[in-house]
Amino acid sequence: MIPVKGFSGKKVAVLGLGRSGLATARALQAGGAEPVCWDDNPAAREAAEGEGLVCSDLRRHGAFENIATLIVSPGIPHLYPMPNPVVAAATDAGVPVDNDIGLFFRSFAGPEWHNYDTPPRVIAVTGSNGKSTTAALIHHILTEAGRDSQLAGNIGRGVLDIDPGGDGSVVVLELSSYQTELARALTPDVAVFTNLSPDHLDRHGGKGGYFAAKRRLFAEGGPDRAVIGIDEAEGAFLAGQLAEGPSDDRVIRISVARKLTGPGWQVFARKGYLSEYRKGRQTGSIDLRDIKGLPGAHNHQNACAAYAACRSLGLAPRVIEHALHSFPGLPHRSQIIAEADGVTFVNDSKATNVDSALKALSAFKKVRWICGGLEKEGGLEALNGAEGHVIKAYVIGREAAGFAMQLTADAQVCTTMTAAVEQAMADAQPGEVVLLAPAAASFDQYDNFEQRGDDFTAEVKKRL
């Protein structure tokens, strides 16, 4: 646990009592603060009270008298599409609003660090797609290299639930836009921006607000090194804003769209080969084509980002290459769940938006595509760019018929996962891939994308 500093003897309100909220309340208590907790869910309040935490209705008049700050869980809106009433009440009362990420960055460092040969480092990863895989891959590389590493944030453990930093240790954080937009302190040593595509636009008031939330990770604290994916205009703009000039190697540009040249520091992947250039000279190269845990160009982008982050900590290219080959991939993200009779079955339930689904489709040549669900803003037109990879689409979800009508590929309305898997397996031929890449949210039929991916996996395995 990381005890929260700066609030000893003060009352701190905690809104939302899920994983991060409970960890925050415990860490506040450990730092000498008095957490005052609230969640609209009675079961969540009961669980908190079972741990001895105090719950008080933060919606009542006068609830923010003598409250030092309000800590908000990631899923609770503070501005768009409209503020949560509790957040609005705190704002009206002049009470600062923060989250667990902000508390972590103000509390992680300790006086014992003066005795360390190498102070602990924090690598923070954000972006629209690939941030979970990139963060997990960085953690895997560091662990394989014998470095003390912890994975936390939007993946792994809550940030305040991890162990204090040791000599030479590294904390790898995956941070969503919900987390970066509100944190009052953001001071990573290395910050990574994978890419940007439209997502959560209602929460951020449009694409500009979404990018601004991501950009805060780089603008607020000024990381020692910034790893920036520049295949979108926003990433290229961000890299230009951070660099003092073409040779400023504090910014490491990454790409899977083109070869990068120039006097700075670049990492790019083309035709399955990762290359590192520094000061105009090649300093590293890795063949990514046979790494099963990282299929497709989107995973090659993740590999470039992880490679660059680890190189910034001084790891040798060959050490990183060795670790890449043992990376198993993440559940629900281009996860190979079975191979039978020449057919490969891949679970990419995390492909909840059009861009991530397009990248998943592009990773394979002959695809039986299971897709559909709760459609997001922007339509599905971009998916038709991958129609050359799709033999047939099998559409699930309550609005499967409407979803199917937007596809140019041959599409069959299946509605349920059971029907889609059954038909796709009946049709599949050797050399083909049955891929779940929904391009939609799961909430019309499932509680979350993990449950959807587990259902796909179970349906496949019971037929093998």
Helix (H, G, I), strand (E, B) or coil at 235: helix
Torsion angle of C-alpha atoms 231, 150, 325, 127, degrees rounded to 10: -10
- What's the pLDDT at 400? 95
- What's the pLDDT at 418? 97
410, exposed or middle or buried, with CB in 10 Å at 0-12, 13-18, 19+? exposed
Q: Are 158 and 106 in contact (CB under 8 A)?
A: no
Q: Are 189 and 123 in contact (CB under 8 A)?
A: yes
Measured at the CA of 269, the angle between CA 335 and CA 209, to 5 degrees, comes to 75
Beta bridge partners of 281: 278
- pLDDT-derived band at 427 (thresholds 50, 70, 90) equals very high
**Residue with more model confidence, 154 or 190:** 190
Lowest mean pLDDT among 32-36, 144-148, 377-381: 377-381
Tell whether the torsion through CA atoms of 177, 183, 187 and 189 is positive or negative: negative
| Res. 263: pLDDT tops 90 | yes
- What's the pLDDT at 334? 87
Q: What does the pLDDT average to over 89-93?
A: 96
- What's the pLDDT at 60? 95
Domain ranges, ordered by start, for the chain: 11-98, 105-325, 335-461
| Res. 262: pLDDT tops 80 | yes
Query: 105-325 with 335-461: one CATH topology?
Result: no
* DSSP labels, 409-448: S-EEEEESHHHHHHHHHHH--TT-EEEE--SSBSTTT-SS
- pLDDT single digits (tens) 118-149: 999 999 999 998 899 999 999 999 999 999 99
> Any idea what DSSP says for residue 168?
T
3: CB partners within 8 A, 6+ apart: 27, 30, 31, 32, 107
Average pLDDT for the chain: 94
**CB half-sphere exposure, 107, CA atoms < 13 A:** 28
- pLDDT single digits (tens) 332-355: 988 899 999 999 999 999 999 888
**For the domain bounded by 105-325, which CATH number is listed?**
3.40.1190.10
**C-alpha span between 36 and 13 (Å, rounded):** 5
Helix (H, G, I), strand (E, B) or coil at 394: strand
CA distances from 311 to 159, 317, 383 (A): 24, 7, 35
Q: What does the pLDDT average to over 392-417?
A: 95
Q: Are 40 and 84 in contact (CB under 8 A)?
A: no
**For the domain bounded by 11-98, which CATH number is listed?**
3.40.50.720
| Res. 386: pLDDT tops 80 | no
- What's the pLDDT at 290? 87
| Res. 88: pLDDT tops 90 | yes
Q: What does the pLDDT average to over 211-231?
A: 94
How many whole angstroms from its chain centre is CA 385? Answer: 25
Q: Report whether 302 belongs to an annotated binding site.
A: no
Q: What does the pLDDT average to over 434-446?
A: 94
Q: Superfamily assignment of 335-461 in CATH?
A: Mur ligase, C-terminal domain (3.90.190.20)
- pLDDT single digits (tens) 315-330: 999 999 999 999 988 8
Rounded to 5 degrees, φ, ψ at 448 are -165, 170
451, exposed or middle or buried, with CB in 10 Å at 0-12, 13-18, 19+? middle
- What's the pLDDT at 356? 86
* DSSP labels, 299-343: HHHHHHHHHHHHHHTT--HHHHHHHHHT---BTTBSEEEEEETTE
> Any idea what DSSP says for residue 33?
-
**Residue with more model confidence, 20 or 426:** 426
- What's the pLDDT at 398? 93
Helix (H, G, I), strand (E, B) or coil at 363: coil
Axis-axis angle for helices 100-107, 19-30 (nearest 10): 40
What kind and span of H or E run contains 251? strand 251-255
- What's the pLDDT at 363? 86
- What's the pLDDT at 198? 75
Amino acid making up residue 387: E
Lowest mean pLDDT among 32-46, 372-386, 409-423, 450-464: 372-386
Q: Report whether 271 belongs to an annotated binding site.
A: no
- What's the pLDDT at 248? 95
What kind and span of H or E run contains 370? strand 367-371
Q: Are 266 and 254 in contact (CB under 8 A)?
A: yes
- pLDDT single digits (tens) 68-85: 999 999 889 999 999 999
| Res. 43: pLDDT tops 90 | yes
Token readout for 177 is: 């836009």
**C-alpha span between 165 and 113 (Å, rounded):** 8
Q: What does the pLDDT average to over 428-443?
A: 95
**Residue with more model confidence, 367 or 19:** 367
Q: Report whether 133 belongs to an annotated binding site.
A: yes
Q: Report whether 127 belongs to an annotated binding site.
A: yes
* DSSP labels, 80-127: SS---HHHHHHHHTT--EE-HHHHHHHHS--GGGGG-SS--EEEEEE-
Q: Report whether 156 belongs to an annotated binding site.
A: no
- pLDDT single digits (tens) 105-120: 999 999 999 999 999 9
